[in-house]
Amino acid sequence: MTRLHDADRRDFASDNYAGTHPEILEAIASANGGHQTSYGEDVYTARLQTVLQQHFGPTASAFPVFNGTGANVLSLQSLLPRWGAVICSDTAHIQTDENGAPERIGALKLLTVPTPDGKLTPDLVATQAWGFGDEHRAQPGVVSITQSTELGTLYTPDEIRALADQAHALGMRLHLDGARISNAAAALDLPLRAFTTDAAVDVVSLGGTKNGLLFGEAVVVLTPDADGGLLYLRKMDMQLASKMRFVSAQLVALYEGDLWLRSATHANAMAARLRAGIEHLPGVRVTRPTQANGVFVVFPAGVVEALRRRWRFYDWDVATGEVRLMCSFDTTESDVDELVAAVASEVA
């Protein structure tokens, strides 16, 4: 096959614009050859259980899936009865970016809460955690949070623990969308279990793709009795890979050593470098804390258009002109410096 793209071009649109980490490609190649039992009865999926138990504790069980939307919908569906509802931020990926998958595939109701920084608090959850036993209201059964959040912010372990305690006291479960869980752990300088298992999270959507996998995530059940038929739901939700060894091998390669941490630490450092480079430039307004690998900015008039002649990045809020600049495992210092120099020259 002839290469059709410029392999030296990198943008700031999303961490999933990046390709596959070379160590992941090596893992796929190592897992290739010969036959292995399909649908998860392979040695790599077995090894993944051990690897993730080292991170999340001996009772964790992992269900590899194709993508993050699938991991979220499956997690939530497994935690809820047919009449259940999920309390989440109005900026949660499940609300803003999964089309109607939670509602149509999961048949769940989302009860959203406005959150200025993408984070729920017990007080915010309380605005939707009511009506238990009232047949007229979808029954709140899960609180779902994202770590790191869609706005690039972080929960501390204590903040998550408080949400878990509140949820459990009300008979609900706590789900954590960890599409960028590694960025959070790297930024907090904590092991993954410090803000999941040890903070009483029930189920995690464990990220892979954004941190260098070709594709693949996993639903990780931390509370043993929270596995509401995941084995069956995964097939029903079309997330059961027949050649699962290749999804599992990638996740093993990411999480058995320090690749997850190395890559996330690097992506976060590139975001910090970018912020430091632009935040003091005239007219540039960095709108949110840069705690993980995303930088949110409003540029002076005309700058976005000029930058877009070279780079791709997303509008975050068209009304305010806020854009999101995302760094990934393969963003280089010179990528960042080039963007900073372009902003400096545009605002000069």
Ligand X SMILES: Cc1ncc(COP(=O)(O)O)c(C=O)c1O
Q: Which is nearer to ligand X, 36 or 288 (CB)?
A: 288
Nearest to 221 by CA among 247, 257, 197, 187: 197
Q: Which is nearer to ligand X, 162 or 292 (CB)?
A: 292
Q: Which is nearer to ligand X, 16 or 53 (CB)?
A: 16
Q: Minimal distance in Å, beta carbon 303 to ligand X?
A: 25
Nearest to 78 by CA among 279, 286, 220, 246: 220
Q: Minimal distance in Å, beta carbon 178 to ligand X?
A: 8
Torsion of CA 27, 33, 37, 40, to 10 degrees: 20
Q: Minimal distance in Å, beta carbon 334 to ligand X?
A: 26
Q: Minimal distance in Å, beta carbon 180 to ligand X?
A: 6
Q: Minimal distance in Å, beta carbon 35 to ligand X?
A: 29
Q: Which is nearer to ligand X, 128 or 146 (CB)?
A: 146
Q: Which is nearer to ligand X, 177 or 346 (CB)?
A: 177
Q: Minimal distance in Å, beta carbon 37 to ligand X?
A: 26
Residues 6+ apart with CB under 8 A from 309: none
Q: Which is nearer to ligand X, 93 or 119 (CB)?
A: 93
Whole-number Å distance between alpha carbons of 280 and 302? 18
Can you list the pairs that 274-280 forms with residues at least 24 positions away whose Cβ atoms lie under 8 Å? 274/12, 274/325, 274/327, 274/336, 274/339, 274/340, 277/336, 277/337, 277/339, 277/340, 277/343, 278/340, 278/343, 278/344
Residue nearest to ligand X (CB): 68
Residues lying near ligand X in the complex (CB under 6 A):
67-69, 72, 93, 97, 146, 150, 177, 179, 209
Element (H, E) at 177: strand 173-178
Q: Which is nearer to ligand X, 84 or 207 (CB)?
A: 207
Structure tokens at 177: 């969308």
Amino acid letter, residue 254 = L
Amino acid letter, residue 261 = L
Structure tokens at 347: 């605002």
Q: Which is nearer to ligand X, 106 or 277 (CB)?
A: 106
Nearest to 73 by CA among 38, 45, 101, 40: 101
Neighbours of 100 (CB within 10 A): 9
Q: Minimal distance in Å, beta carbon 68 to ligand X?
A: 2
| For residue 263, cis peptide bond before it (omega within 30 degrees of 0) | no
Q: Using an 8 Å Cβ cutoff, are 307 and 281 in contact? A: no
Q: Minimal distance in Å, beta carbon 208 to ligand X?
A: 9
